[in-house]
Amino acid sequence: MGTALLSLSGLTKTYPGVVANSDVGFDIQPGEVHALLGENGAGKSTLVKMIYGLVAPDSGQMTLNDVPFSPADPNAARAAGVAMVFQHFSLFDALSVAENVALGMDNPPPRRELSDKIRTVSKAYGLPLDPQRTVGDLSAGERQRVEIIRCLLQDPKLLIMDEPTSVLTPQEVEILFKTLRKLSAEGTAILYISHKLEEIRSLCDTATILRLGKKVATCTPAERTAAELAEMMVGSSLRPPERRAHEPGGVLLEVNDLTIAPTQAFGTRLQNISFSLRMGEILGIGGVAGNGQDELLAALSGEVLTDASAIVMQGTAVGAMGPTGRRNRGLLTAPEERLGHAAAPEMTLTENALLTGSKRQALVKGGWINWAAAKGFAEHIIHHFDVRTPGPEVAARALSGGNLQKFVIGREVLQEPHVLVVNQPTWGVDASAAASIRQALLDLAADGAAIICISQDLDELMEISDRFAALNEGKLSPIRATADLTVEEIGLMMGGAHGMEVADA
Amino acid sequence: MDLSSINPVLLVASLMITATPLLLAALGELVVERAGVLNLGVEGMMITGAVCGFIITVETGSPWMGFLLAAVAGAVLSMLFALLTQVFLANQVASGLALTLFGLGLSALLGREYVGIKPPSTPKLDLGPLADLPIIGRAFFSHDIIVYFALAMTVAIWFFLQRTRAGLTLRAVGENHDAAHALGYKVVLIRFAAIAFGGAMAGLGGAYISLVRVPQWTEGMTAGIGWIALALVVFASWKPGRVVLGAYLFGGVGVLQLNLQAAGVSIPVEYLASAPYVVTIIALVIMSKDRSGAPASLGRPFHASS
């Protein structure tokens, strides 16, 4: 091996109560695609923030081309040739593509020159972009292109990509990989963060695996099986959820020609959505974020009212009914955002249990709260779903993402819904908690409930759903049985490559 | 009733005077809000500027020193707000309201000895032949320099926000402070600067009321102009050009209704007095129909650790 481009040794960073990174070290060669693999909370993000100058390490050294490297801020990191594409986009919705790109550069050229440059570079790498468009109107895939182009315009030596494929369709992922391979062939090293094993096996030359802030191994991913990588990442082998065989029953929920206007700026308009859902069935709804998922959940939960007949549950038109009326009839929902939407952060678990369970669990009588019963219900959820918390009097905010997710899903599942709608049920949750949540959904369906699972995790949808449809720009694709779908077909249902092109060779 | 007593030339001339303090304060607040900060203390900073400008002018005899120190006073007071909200992460709404109450009290205390005094008058800007033009000269070209300064600032702020790198950075901070921080911009520093600018502009606007428009000192003499400025920024969709339109419309209807009252129009005074507010709101609501939104980070506290 030649000299490493970036060499890390002994990096340690502690936050109050948490050791984010402990003695982490590895090398990245020029032109290498290096994977950083680990579960949520394994310390991947903290590590790259140190490389990008957003966080200073407590101890340890970094060298870039054999020169000590300790960027004080992102500007210093960029000047040294390190660029980063963020997981949660660091874009400005109300500004144009060109303005967003200019903000990420230290000395942007005049506007017209910059626009030309954006067009040229984006064309060369198969990521076409119109510099004048407002970023808020772009799709998730297009927004990611803006970030990538912003990095490429600086000719980086090292490109850091934090979970870049979580918002892309399979076709878009394939094109992104071609772009990354082209970059790597040109000598740009790529530090690729992900927890998707197959991606890493197909793209990356080397993988460093982190678990609980420590480096577990550095290996060549192509020589390992996905199961071996998963075991290194999680620390134990995982049992896939079991599906109990059962026949779907009668129709529980019908959605007829549902059309609603976006509720917020840069939202999506839902257009003519129709489907029906039977007892014991799980309908998986995939699609890239921002294609109407939040709007669909709001329409089904009753946060947004529609024509009464647009949503029919067991023969009753509920479209004009608010969330409470729908809950009373057994239509329950668990939204994506845990803190602030599914749970009130500053309230205790007991209070949060009461918020959605008051009626179905008979926790309120004549306007008076039965606190003993509410606490009992919260304890029931905690026990049944293995929520790790000292007790039901703890504030929701104090729980880790995975534990709170188990709590908010469990809260709805234990209310014996007839229809349950969940959005991103395992988002940001570690693998073992995700497995138990999926198992709970499968068990609920086996007991006769109908479930709509909105998710961006295609593996999850393939694992649990009976039928699959994709949301793309507010429209629902035809619904297909999951068993006979290929990844290729799913990608096309999600809107294909959204105008991306293969990079010029 | 005698409508012929209303002189359109004088009407235009006095509407420019009436609108200027509102325009100055609203432009300052516009910059603050584009940086993502909601400072409800405009009224407090204006009245502080009004009293400081008045005192300095009376003591030194120079209105220019008065205007300068009024701007400084507004900026200094706004730094109190910046310190509370940007460093100690206090709630912006509560801090802004506190600033207004503090400014009203402070100005009443400072101005006790100055009630009933007439300040040295602010000279008109000599625009030579322009001022001699018939009608137009009297209406548009016979004002003091602050009137033109406010109009020039409108263009300057538009140019700054839309055409300069620093303006783009300021908008970026107001749009998404986390992303701006991640790209390495100094969010808190930029906001401090914007808040200071807003304070200076509010102070200047206040001094214009006590030195030119009225001109004398009475307690609470800004009479809600600061609040109008805040509303104007929102209805103008955070666009400088619309702020000018709104301010001049408000000033124009205000002057017109006074003239109508004097002419003895048989409409109850209360309706006439509320006309400027109603007309301005209606006009701006219609203009803001394109739904260009507020800066996305407006009013949200920023802390670098998250």
Strand A67-68's sheet: what is its strand order?
Answer: A18-28, A6-15, A59-64, A67-68
From B170, B102, B151, B128, select the one nearest B251 (Cα to Cα). B151
**Residues lower than pLDDT 50 in chain B:** 306
| Structural domains of chain B, count | 1
Contact call for B179 and A54, based on CB within 8 A: no
Give yes or no for a contact between A218 and A206, defined as CB atoms under 8 angstroms apart.
yes
Average pLDDT of span A45-52: 89
> What local confidence, expressed as pLDDT, does residue A238 receive?
67
* Chain B hits for A94, Cβ within 8 Å: 171, 175, 293, 295-296
* Chain B hits for A265, Cβ within 8 Å: 291, 293
Residues A337 and A327: their CA atoms lie apart, in Å, by 19
Assign A484 a pLDDT band (cuts: 50, 70, 90).
confident
Q: Is the pLDDT of residue A499 over 60?
A: no
Measure Cα distances from A10 to A43, A59, A278 in Å: 14, 7, 55
Lowest mean pLDDT among A133-137, A427-431, B220-224: A427-431
Interface of A to B at Cβ within 8 Å reads 53-54, 73-75, 78, 86, 89-95, 99, 102-104, 108, 265
> What local confidence, expressed as pLDDT, does residue B290 receive?
64
3-state SS, A481-505, equals EHHHCCHHHHHHHCCCCCCCCCCCC
DSSP run (H or E) holding B29: helix B8-34
> What local confidence, expressed as pLDDT, does residue A485 receive?
85
Burial of B71 (0-12, 13-18, 19+ CB in 10 A): buried
Residues A496 and B5: their CA atoms lie apart, in Å, by 72
Contact call for A94 and B296, based on CB within 8 A: yes
* Chain B hits for A73, Cβ within 8 Å: 184
Interior CA angle at A307 toward A268 and A481, to 5°?
65
* Chain A hits for B185, Cβ within 8 Å: 103
Pick the CATH number of A6-234 from 3.60.9.10, 3.40.50.300, 3.40.50.150, 1.10.760.10: 3.40.50.300
β-strands A480-481, A467-472: how paired? antiparallel
Amino acid at A152: L
User: Which residue from A90, A94, A99 is facing B293, i.e. has the nearest CB?
Assistant: A94
Interface mutation target, options A92, A153, A339, chain B, most CBs of B under 10 Å: A92
pLDDT tens profile A226-256: 888 888 888 776 667 777 777 778 899 999 9
Residues B114 and A394: their CA atoms lie apart, in Å, by 59
Contact call for B296 and A93, based on CB within 8 A: yes
User: Which residue from B182, B293, B296 is facing A90, i.e. has the nearest CB?
Assistant: B182
- Show me where the domains of chain A are located: 6-234, 251-493
User: Which residue from B165, B175, B293 is facing A92, i.e. has the nearest CB?
Assistant: B175
From A252, A277, A280, A276, select the one nearest A441 (Cα to Cα). A280
Q: How many CB atoms lie within 10 A of CB A156?
A: 20
Angle between helices B8-34 and B42-60 (to 10 degrees): 120
Give yes or no for a contact between A13 and A20, defined as CB atoms under 8 angstroms apart.
yes
Residues A457 and B70: their CA atoms lie apart, in Å, by 59
User: Which residue from A74, A94, A102 is facing B184, i.e. has the nearest CB?
Assistant: A74
CA–CA min distance A95, chain B (Å): 8
The helix/strand/coil state of B47 is helix
> Going by C-beta distance under 8 Å and a sequence separation of 6 or more, which residues neighbour residue A87?
A45, A162, A163, A164, A166, A193
DSSP per-residue codes, B148-188: HHHHHHHHHHHHHHHHSHHHHHHHHHHH-HHHHHHTT--HH
Structural domain including B85 reads 3-290
Contact call for B179 and A90, based on CB within 8 A: yes
Contact call for B183 and A90, based on CB within 8 A: yes
Q: Is the pLDDT of residue A1 over 50?
A: no
> Going by C-beta distance under 8 Å and a sequence separation of 6 or more, which residues neighbour residue B163?
none
Residues B77 and B51: their CA atoms lie apart, in Å, by 13
CA–CA min distance A305, chain B (Å): 22
Percent of chain A residues topping a pLDDT of 90 = 41
Q: Give A141's Cβ-side CA count (13 Å radius).
A: 25
Pick the CATH number of A251-493 from 3.30.300.30, 3.40.50.300, 3.40.50.1580, 3.40.1010.20: 3.40.50.300
- Nearest residue of A to residue B178 by CA position? A90
User: Helices marked H in B35-133 — which ranges?
Assistant: 42-60, 63-82, 92-110, 129-132
> What local confidence, expressed as pLDDT, does residue B306 receive?
45
Q: How many CB atoms lie within 10 A of CB A116?
A: 12
Strand partners, A278: A251
> What local confidence, expressed as pLDDT, does residue A505 receive?
41
From B98, B97, B86, B54, select the one nearest B203 (Cα to Cα). B54
pLDDT tens profile A174-232: 888 988 999 999 999 999 988 788 888 889 999 999 988 899 889 998 898 888 888 88
Domain contains B304 = no
Q: What is the mean pLDDT of chain A?
A: 87
From A105, A88, A87, select the one nearest B169 (Cα to Cα). A105
Burial of A243 (0-12, 13-18, 19+ CB in 10 A): middle
DSSP run (H or E) holding B244: helix B240-263
Domain at B57, CATH number: 1.10.3470
Residues A373 and A363: their CA atoms lie apart, in Å, by 6
* B295/A contact by beta carbon, under 8 A: yes
Give yes or no for a contact between B209 and B57, defined as CB atoms under 8 angstroms apart.
no
- Nearest residue of A to residue B293 by CA position? A265
> What local confidence, expressed as pLDDT, does residue B291 receive?
58
DSSP per-residue codes, A303-339: SS---GGGEEETTEE-TT--HHHHHHTTEEEE-S-TB
Residues A481 and A161: their CA atoms lie apart, in Å, by 34
